Structure 1
Amino acid sequence: MSTRLFLSLLFSMFVLQARTLALPSRYSPFDVSKFENPDDVDVDITLNQLNQVLGNFTCKPTQQFAEECRNSTDALPLINQGFADYNISSVGEKAALLSLMVFETGNFSFDRNHFPPPGRPGQGTRNLMQFPFVYQYAVDNANTSSQALSLVPNNTTDLDSVSDDTKNAVRKLVLGDQLSFSSAMWFYTQSGKNKTGCTHIDGMVEGLQVRTVAGWENYITQCIGTTVTDDRQKVWEQTLKALISVN
């Protein structure tokens, strides 16, 4: 064997050994399961992450419903507080709820239903809840409960029969930023007759925590009660990507 060939073989063996030592024993370049089933660490969403979700959107004084619009700097601490208050810690759950809020309110441009004009009475907050849930939210909150009950007694069996003005008056009780930005978290964890939100639905929590498309679709159809669309999925994917990133 020539000296040149011997040295070439020796160098090849060295490179192979170095690569083997540098890689984890279970390394797989196409293993996406580590993204779908992560070991989540509960950390607050950062301003950079929220700006990525919103596409650096900013409120403009001349835009429609300008008084309802909130910038990322206003929304961020309220969103993080809402997740903390309702013990929502996984990135997957946060991404689903935040993307819903962003989609429903046009990047936090408004906090009540305006479309088609004049909008649906009583529907609002930052996840645009329908009036029955807005009412339950107002009753559940200690700061608004007595006022909500004075407007609509708790024995009211048909909330659809409540007048439009009264629906809007109840909605106004929970449009303050602190309550409005926490409504999606309340809805997910405490809404409904049994006050378990959507967490009792089979596969709901687990599906969101592992960040799968199927888990998110289950949230949209079975928890929110609407249809999956490409536009909704695009916002969810953008949100998930931002929250996975380190900023």
Structure 2
Amino acid sequence: MRHWALTLLLGVFALCAHSMPQTGEDSQSTALSDQTLIRIAPSTASCEGAAFPEECADATRAAEAINLAFETYGISSSGERAGLVAYMLFESGDFRYSKNHFPGRPGQGTRMMGMPPLVKLYAESVAGVDAVARAEAAGGDAGLDAVLRLANCNDEKSFGMAAWFLSTQCTNDTRGGLAMGEMDGWHDFLTSCVGTTLATERDTLWLATTQVLNGEGLSKTR
């Protein structure tokens, strides 16, 4: 049993060594920088004091991975980019978490804190159906966590899920609304595609992200 578990874990590491397929178009938008992320969320400047240091990604790491995700999945409009950055910042606690710790739901994670069924779809996309089937063979919570590792084992994959989600799971109308950079489009993305409830904290973060990406000064700091 121990040998089988070790074999499965080594297989996950091997899959993480391979890059995701480059499926998107080259972006015409300005690349996201670490300083841009720090302006939006100052705590991303470092991982000092992070409760789970192995999960935390600072602004430098995050910016590199997010830019790659935008290119891979063809996220070119500033409105969509702002929406995804705000979404990931909120769900991951300013990129300090890549797994669900509150309450600690098995199999939930990546920087968008996707639920297990969605994580499985993403893992199949970036690691392959066979790899996911082998991970699920562990059964129960162990199987869910093994699938999450396939989707979450490096920055490229962990930060890539939100862009994959928008490009494959949301309707064209939702994407168009988000691209407009208006609150109604942001709310439609959250309720119609993500399937979550609206919250003032989410809106505050989205407004800050939108202002910074549009080159505006922040009306107030977070």
Among residues 186, 189, 198, which one is paired with 2:170 in the alignment?
198
Among residues 131, 139, 149, which one is paired with 2:133 in the alignment?
149
1:164-223 C-alpha deviation (Å, 9 max, x unpaired): 111001101111211001100011112xxxxxx1034xx312211111111110001001
Pair 1:186 & 2:164 matched: yes
When you count helix as a share of all residues, which structure comes out higher? 2
Tell me, yes or no, if the aligned pair for 1:59 and 1:109 is still in contact at 8 Å. Answer: no
Equivalent residue, structure 2, for 1:208: 178
Equivalent residue, structure 2, for 1:164: 141
Structure 1 85/103 Cα, relative in aligned 2: closer, same or farther at 3 Å? same
1:216-238 C-alpha deviation (Å, 9 max, x unpaired): 10001001100111000000001
1:48-98 C-alpha deviation (Å, 9 max, x unpaired): 211112125334454311111010011111100100100010000000111
Instruction: Write the distance in 1 (CA, Å) between the matches of 2:216 and 2:67.
Output: 16
SS at match of 1:82: helix
Instruction: Write the distance in 2 (CA, Å) between the matches of 1:88 and 1:53.
Output: 19
Q: How far has the Cα of 1:47 moved from its partner?
A: 2.5
Equivalent residue, structure 2, for 1:240: 210
Q: Which has the larger radius of gyration?
A: 1
Instruction: Write the distance in 2 (CA, Å) between the matches of 1:46 and 1:64.
Output: 25
Instruction: Write the distance in 2 (CA, Å) between the matches of 1:71 and 1:199.
Output: 31
Unaligned runs of 5+ in 2: 1-26, 218-222
Normalised TM-score (structure 1): 0.72
Normalised TM-score (structure 2): 0.79
Identity %: 34
Among residues 58, 68, 73, which one is paired with 1:71 in the alignment?
58
Structure 1 147/166 Cα, relative in aligned 2: closer, same or farther at 3 Å? same
Instruction: Write the distance in 2 (CA, Å) between the matches of 1:221 and 1:131.
Output: 19
Tell me, yes or no, if the aligned pair for 1:144 and 1:174 is still in contact at 8 Å. Answer: no
TM alignment of 1:1-247, pairs within 5 A: 41-116=28-103, 119-141=104-126, 143-152=127-136, 163-175=140-152, 176-190=154-168, 197-200=169-172, 203-245=173-215
SS at match of 2:203: helix
Residues matched between the structures, number: 189
Instruction: Write the distance in 1 (CA, Å) between the matches of 2:47 and 2:75.
Output: 32
Q: Runs ≥4 in structure 1, deviation > 6 angstroms? A: none
